[in-house]
Structures are given as structure tokens and as C-alpha cells.
Structure 1
Amino acid sequence: MKTTSTINNAQLFFIIFQTQVGVGVLSLPSSLYADAGTDGWITLLITGGAIQIIIFILYFLCARFPTLTLYEFAPKIIGKYAAGIISVLYVAFAIATSIIVLELFETTIKTWILFRTPMLVILLLLTVSGTYLAVGKIKVMGRFYQFVSILILPLILMSAYTLKDADIRYILPIGQNGFGTILKSTQKGIVSMLGFEIVLFIYPYVQNKGKAALKSLTLANIAVTSLYTFLTFTTFVFFSPNQLEVIPEPLVYMLKGISFVIVDRVDLIFLSIWIISVMTSYVSYLYIAGKGIQHLTKRKKTTGPILIASFIALFFSMFSHDRYTVEMLSGYHAKASYFFALGFPLMLLLISLLFKKKEESQ
């Protein structure tokens, strides 16, 4: 792939970071508590280690084909037809992820902010702004992600402020649920922190590849793991175990209970920042889907394919939005995500190593 649109390692870091930090952060503490109790924050530390292993696998695969995306190097490894099937599956997965992001965005906004606003209007808010960003060059995405990442700082500060009312006894004794239970619940952590697989589609655009790129990927994983662990830990020491059992989105409830002299609804500020993180995740998966459609239809530009993916995601996201349906669809999506984040890349890496296949220009 020859391209004049490139990103530096800092932009690679922020693309990975912003793609991982998404819609799941609101309900993650509640989900982890359901599986691992107050040891859920330990689960996230283990999850970060597991994701780092996956990142090594993705990196070694990309390093064998440094100027090609997965859509382009898969045929060189497993043949045209098998690679075509995998490409279609990745496009479907990316669009499905976009649909779930849209649905969770709509239900959350309608619950907390825009109670009477029609569903379509809320969906269009994310669709139009996200599609506009996705059709730009990868460099534009990288710069935007880098710029909006500063908003994570007030999010951390707002959450840290609640620690003045924390009670460390809520999480004691540490490890009370057993290592087996903690380890088993890592699957929910991995699903909530998905997004690192975008490296399979943006690695060719990175200016400084090799160890510099791996360093950016690793730092992004450390940053996301630290952020999720901190936010989860904060909610666990703020709410009692009995409260965590009945609160679906503890982060928002936690911030709703505090106010300042000139700011009464801190939770609305938090949700405003959360919306940006949701949009960046949505944009990233639109980009993955658009690149796939472009490759399969042999188009020169990604604008048309991204618009197609955006329309499909919007259309299907307008169906049932009750929490039960969304959670059920998210469950199926979570199971499928293991194949796309680990299964297929690991298979391609092993085959490429076994048959010594790599990019000819190396």
C-alpha cells in the first residue's frame, strides 16, 4: 500500500486509546461486580496483561506485512477465497459493533439527558458527526483523537473527587472471591476494552514502525487498563456491595450525587465527555468497515463505502432499544469478538510462520 496519509506514533497511541475507551465504561463496574464481586478491579489488571499478549500477536502479524492491511495480506496467507470470507466477516463485525454502539448511546442519552427527544434524532447526532470524521484521512482521525484525549483528565478528576466519601472497607478483604472467579470474569473486561484490533487496519499508515509502534500500542493498553481500573475501583469504594447489586450504571450515579458552587449536575459533564469517547469508537469501526467494503468492491476511495456502512448501521440501530434486547445482542457480539480480536489474527500469524509467508518487499 502506497499512501501519503500517515500518522506518527503519538497519533497511533491515541487512536488505540480512544477506540478502546468507549460505551462500555458506564456499565463495566456493575458487570464486573456481578461476576467477581468487589474484586472486579483486580480483574481489570489481569485483563490488561491478557490484552498485552494479544497485542504482541497482532504486532508480529502486522510486522510481517508492514505496508498492508489485514484485508490485503490475508489473501497472501490463506488464498483469495478464504481471505474474502474473513474480510466479509470483519466488515460485518465492524458494522455490528457500530450498531451496538449506536443503540447503547441512544438508550443512555435518552435515559439521562434527552428524555423526550425522538430516537432517530439522537441516532443522527452520532451518525452524522461520526461519518463526517470517518470519511476524512487517517491523519485527520489521529489528530482529532489526540486533541479530544485531553478531556479524559477532567473525567479522572471528577471521579477522584468522589474519593473523599470513599470507604475502603467495602472492598475488604481483597481477593475474597478467589483467584478462579477473578480470572473467569476477565472475559467481560476484554470485551469492554476491545478496540486494539484496529491496528490490523492502520499499521501501514504508521510512520515509525517496529519497536516504536509496539511501544505506542503497549502504552495505550497500559493507559486504558489504568483508567478502567481506577474508575471501577472508585465506584467500588464509593458504593456499598448492596448498592452495587441494584445500580446499573454506578459511575453516573456516583457523579450525580456531587455538585459544586457553579456546577450542579456533574454527571452531565461526565456524560458530555463520554459522548466524545463513544463517537471515537464508532468512527473507528466505521473506518474498519469502510476499508473492508472498499477492498471487496475494489473502489479507489473509502468515502462511498463508509457512507454505506454508516447507513446500514443506522438502519439496523433503529430497531428495538429495550435494555434486555441490547444486552442480549451485546452478549452475542462479545462471544464473536474473540474470533476477530484473537482467533483469526492468531491463525493468520501461525500459517504465515509455518509457510514462511511475509511481504516481498522485506
Structure 2
Amino acid sequence: MKKYTYNQLSILQYILLIHGAQVGIGVLTIPRELAEKASTDGWISLLIGWLAATLVSLVITNMMKQYPEKTIIDIFPLILGKWLGRIAIVFMFIYCGVAAFVLLINATGIINVWLLSQTPAYVVVFLFTLPTYFVLQGGVRAIGRYAELVFYLTLWIPFVLTTAYREVHWLNLLPVIKEGWHPIWEASKSTVLSFLGFEFGYFAYPFLQKKQYAPLGIVIANTLTLFVYLSVVVVCFAYFSPDEITQYTWPTLNLWKAIEFRFLERVDILFLSTYMFILSTTALPYIYFCVFSSSQLFGMKDHRKHLRLFLLLVPVVLLFYTPSFIDLKKSIQIWSYAGLGFAYALPLLAWGPIRLSKRAERGEKA
């Protein structure tokens, strides 16, 4: 009997789970980050980041294809042995836990700045924990369905964003490659990290019903994320001047603040409220696979005990520690460096040993 049959994902849920995990904090900050390094040529860096993420994503799906009914947590002990495998699982648990915590505190910081300036951070996070528990207790299938629901609920955003076209200055984008390729390559480092989230191919592959579509699905997920980033970056570059955009911490929110209708003035508040759902599709997979890894580490089939502990621990931490704006920026940098290792380096390093291990198994059977 297949281990994960009861929790299977459709190909659409697989695509939207990975896409949702990618479009998080980055969509708010990436216009500024690219403008600081490559000016208005930063959109070209996005294409480079997409290409790198897609190539590594295909390596991940090819790697997981060798053990189609196992997650990376199940594979570690097979290729590394019992104890080294458990150490690798601990690192994976820490990585997902750090990513989840970084996303939660940054979401709280955004809410405190734009919406609830007088509400303590631990109260905001506690309000997140209740719906988070109800979704995550249902497992991967529930996360996939939630990602699909949020995708449909946010389809109005690109249509409203087009109303900003009346105020844009497309000449800001010219000339193309004005300072050469070096700034573009430098900015591509930021875009590579903005595509983090495709590493959930490690976990989601065995849950996928039609695994033959996994490579196509993960390419579509990356391409969908590229479309979101490109649409936001190009509009921000054309709306703000090259110097002005670098002065905003979250230029995407400042862009939405400028959009108004006769019947609705604060469109940015509506967007920000909806954006919290988008951000949740980024945080939920990291939280789930954090507690999934820890549960597997201790030989527990039910992840809900560890989930309750994690969701209780985060508000308690924020009760005694409120991160400053500098702390939030440092936390994203830490997560980014960790993501380079787990999302980009690990597949390239593990692909060879996994294929050799599989060949050895086939040789023994023969």
C-alpha cells in the first residue's frame, strides 16, 4: 500500500501549492531590490532567476522520480544511513522552521505598519494560528485545496493593477541594458532567492496523483511566479522614477496606495487584506513540512501534536521579543542564505548519490 495515498494532490493543486509558496514577501520588495542593483533593467534579472529555478526544479523532480513514493525525509536515511540521515532531517526541520518563523514575523511587521499599528505582534500572530491549525491539520491535500482557493480569490488583483497604466511612464524602462550586463547578473542573485518555494517538490512529489506531470507542473508553477513578478516589477519601474523606487521599503504597497476609484479610496487596504491570504500560502507549507519533518524524526504518524506546539511557541516568543525593522531584514537574509543551500545546492549534490543508490538496488535485485 502506498504510504501517502490518502493525501493525494491533483496536478493543479501541486502547481498552485508550489506557486503559492514562492509568491510571498518577495512580491513587495523585489522592485526595490532590483532597482538598487540593476536600475530598470532588473526585469531581465528575473528571467535569469526563473531559468535557474526551473533548471534546479527539474533536477528535483528527476531526483524524486527515483523514489516516487517517498519524500526527501524518507530518502535521507536510505542514502546517508540511519544517523546521518536523521541529522539531515534535523537540518531540514530547522530550515522549514526558520522560514516559517521569518514569514510570520514579517507578515506581522507589515500588518503593524500598515493596518494595526497599536496591536502587539504576539496578538497578531495568535490570530493567525487558529485558521492555520484548521488548515494544516488536514495535511497536504488541505494545503493544496487552500492554495487553489486563494488563487481564485486573488484573480481580481491583476485587473485592478492595470488601472495604474494611466499614470505610468514607459520611457522609464529605456534604454535597455543601459549599464551593461554586470548589474543585471548581480541583481539576478536577488531573483534566484525570490523563487524559493520550488523546493517543496522534495515533499509534494509522492503526494501527486499523476507523477508523470510533475516536471511540467513545476515548470508551470515557476512560470506563473515569473508572470506575477514581471507584472509587478515592470509596472513599478514605469510608475516610479529609477531613483524614487529605491526610497520605498515596499514599493508594491506604495503603488497600490496611489490607485483610487470613485467608490473606493483605500484600495491598498483591500489589497493588503487579500495579500495576507497570499502570504499564508507561502507560510503554511513551511509550517506543515517543519512539523512533518519533526514528526517523522520521532517516528510519529500524527503531526498535529508538533503543529500545536509550533503554533503555541511562536506567539510566546513574540511576547518577549518584538523584532525591529533591521531584525526583519536580517531574518530574510538568513533565510535566503539557507535557501541557497537547501533549494539550490542540495538537489545538485544529492542527485548523483540518489541515482547511484537506485542503480545499486537494481543491481542487487538482478
Q: In the alignment, which residue of structure 2 is the partner of 1:260?
A: 261
Quote the residue 2:271 is aligned against.
270
Partner of 1:310: 311
Say if 2:155 is the partner of 1:137: no
- Equivalent residue letter for 1:253: N
**Counterparts of 1:76 and 1:182, CA distance in 2:** 41
Q: Compared with structure 1, are the counterparts of its residues 350 and 314 closer, same or farther at alpha carbon in structure 2 (3 Å cutoff)?
A: farther
Following the alignment from structure 2 to structure 1, what is the Cα–Cα distance between the partners of residues 268 and 361?
Answer: 50
Amino acid at match of 1:247: Y
After TM superposition, list the pairs within 5 Å mapping 1:60-139 onto structure 2.
Answer: 60-139=62-141
Kept in 2, the 8 Å contact 1:100–1:317? The answer is no
The one-letter code matched in structure 2 to 1:308 is L
2:269 maps to 1:280: no
The answer to whether structure 1 residue 350 and structure 2 residue 364 are counterparts is no
Matched, 1:299 2:300: yes
Deviations 1:319-339 (A, max 9, x none): 232111111122122111111
Q: In structure 1, the residue corresponding to 2:203 is in which secondary structure?
A: helix
Residues 66 and 355, structure 2, Cα contact 8 Å, conserved in 1: no
Distance in 2, Cα, partners of 1:93 & 1:295 = 15
The one-character-per-residue Cα deviations of 1:28-50 (angstroms, maximum 9, x if unpaired) are 11111111111111111111111
- In structure 2, the residue matched to 1:217 is 218
2:169 corresponds to: 167
Q: Which residue matches 1:16?
A: 18
Distance in 2, matches of 1:162 and 1:256, equals 11
Alignment partner, residue 230 of structure 2: 229
Matched with 1:149 is 151
User: Do 1:36 and 1:185's aligned partners in 2 also have CA atoms closer than 8 Å?
Assistant: yes
The offset of 1:208, in angstroms, is: 0.3
* Cα distance in 2, alignment partners of residues 164 and 357 from structure 1: 59
Distance 2:276 2:360 in 1: 40
Q: TM-score, normalised by structure 2?
A: 0.94
Task: Give the counterpart letter for 2:179 in structure 1.
Answer: N
Q: Deviations over 1:299-336 (max 9, x none)?
A: 12111122233334444455232111111122122111
Code of the residue aligned with 1:56 in structure 2: it is L
Q: How far has the Cα of 1:355 moved from its partner?
A: 4.2
CA change 1:151–1:358 in 2 (3 A) is farther
What is the DSSP-based 3-state SS (H/G/I as helix, E as strand, rest coil) of the residue aligned with 1:27? helix
Give how far 1:359 is off. 7.6
- Quickly say closer, same or farther: Cα 1:330–1:317, change in 2 above 3 A: farther
> What SS is found at the alignment partner of 1:26?
helix
Q: Find the aligned partners of 2:95 and 2:89 in 1 and give their Cα distance.
A: 10
- Aligned partners of 1:232, 1:130: CA distance in 2, in Å? 30
Identity %: 25
Counterpart residue number, 2:59: 57
Could you tell me how far apart the structure 1 residues matched to 2:309 and 2:106 are? Answer: 21
Does the CA contact (< 8 Å) of 2:125 and 2:314 recur in 1? no
- 1:154-189 CA-partner distances (Å, limit 9, x unpaired): 221222210111101112111113212212222211
Q: Which stretch of the first structure deviates more once superposed, 319-328 or 88-97?
A: 319-328
Equivalent residue for 1:7, pick from 9, 15, 25 = 9
Deviations 1:100-150 (A, max 9, x none): 111111111111111212222111122222232111122222112111102
What secondary structure does 1:177 align onto?
coil
Kindly tell me: are residues 198 and 84 of structure 1, through their superposed partners in 2, closer, same or farther at Cα, counting changes over 3 Å? same
Q: Matches of 2:71 and 2:310 in 1, distance apart?
A: 18
SS at match of 1:221: helix
Kept in 2, the 8 Å contact 1:65–1:358? The answer is no
Deviations 1:228-279 (A, max 9, x none): 1110111000001121121111111111112112111110111112100111
8 Å contact from structure 2 (residues 15, 218) kept in 1: yes
Aligned residues: 360
Q: 1:19 to 1:64 in 2, by over 3 A?
A: same
Separation of aligned partners in 1, 2:162 and 2:352: 44
Distance 1:185 1:86 in 2: 31
Partner of 2:181: 179
- Measured in 2, the distance between the counterparts of 1:317 and 1:343 equals 32
Preserved CA contact (<8 Å) 1:95 1:313: no
SS at match of 2:154: helix
Letter in 2 for 1:105: A
> CA-atom RMSD, angstroms?
1.7
In 2, Cα distance between the equivalents of 1:59 and 1:339? 17
Structure 1: runs of 5+ lacking an equivalent: none
Distance 1:176 1:286, change over 3 A: same
Structure 1 position 357, deviation (Å): 4.8
- Are 1:94 and 1:289, in contact at CA under 8 Å, matched by a contact in 2? yes
Large movers: runs of 4+ above 6 Å? 358-361
- Name which of structure 1's ranges 151-160 and 321-330 shifts more when overlaid on structure 2: 151-160
CA distance in 1, matches of 2:352, 2:121: 45
Bigger shift: residues 87-96 or 127-136: 127-136
